[in-house]
Amino acid sequence: MAWLGILNYWIFVLLLMTGMYAIVAKGNLIKKLIGLGICQSAVFLLFISMGKVVGGTAPILDGSDRAYSSPLPQVLILTAIVVGISTMALALAVVVRIRESFGSIEEADVYGKEAEA
C-alpha cells in the first residue's frame, strides 16, 4: 500500500486535473475561474504536504531533541494565497466589466460578439 503514503500527492494531481478540466471545458467565465481556484488550492496542498514531517512539531528550539516540520513551505503558501486572492479579485472584476459591455459571461457569446465588432 505504498501509494497510500503519498495520498496527498494523488489528491494534488486529482485537484489539479479537476481544475484544468473546468478551465478548458466550461464555457462560463465564472466556472473557469472556479477551476483556476481549484488548481491553486492543489498547489497549496502540494507545498503544505512537502513540509510536513510525521510526528513533527513547530520549529521552536527548546533544547529537547525532536522532529520539526519545515515552516518555510507554509510561509511560501501564505504568500501564494495572497497572490491567488488578488488574481481572483482582479479576474472577477474583469468578468463584471465583460458582463457590462458584452451582456454575457458565456465564452461563446463573448468571443462571438468580439468577432462582429
CB of 65 to another protein, least distance (A): 20
User: Does 34 help bind another protein (rule: CB under 8 A)?
Assistant: no
Return the DSSP state at 115: H
Identify which of 88, 83, 113 has the alpha carbon closest to the alpha carbon of residue 29: 88
List the interface residues with another protein, window 39-78 (CB under 8 A).
Answer: 39-40, 43, 46-47, 50, 72-73, 76
DSSP state string for 47-110: HHHHH--TT-B-----SS---B--SHHHHHHHHHHHHHHHHHHHHHHHHHHHHHHHS--BHHHH
| For another protein, the closer CB: 39 or 64 | 39
Q: Residues interacting with another protein, by CB under 8 A?
A: 20, 23, 29, 32, 36, 39-40, 43, 46-47, 50, 72-73, 76, 79-80, 83, 86-87, 90-91, 94-95, 97-98, 101-102, 110-111, 114, 117
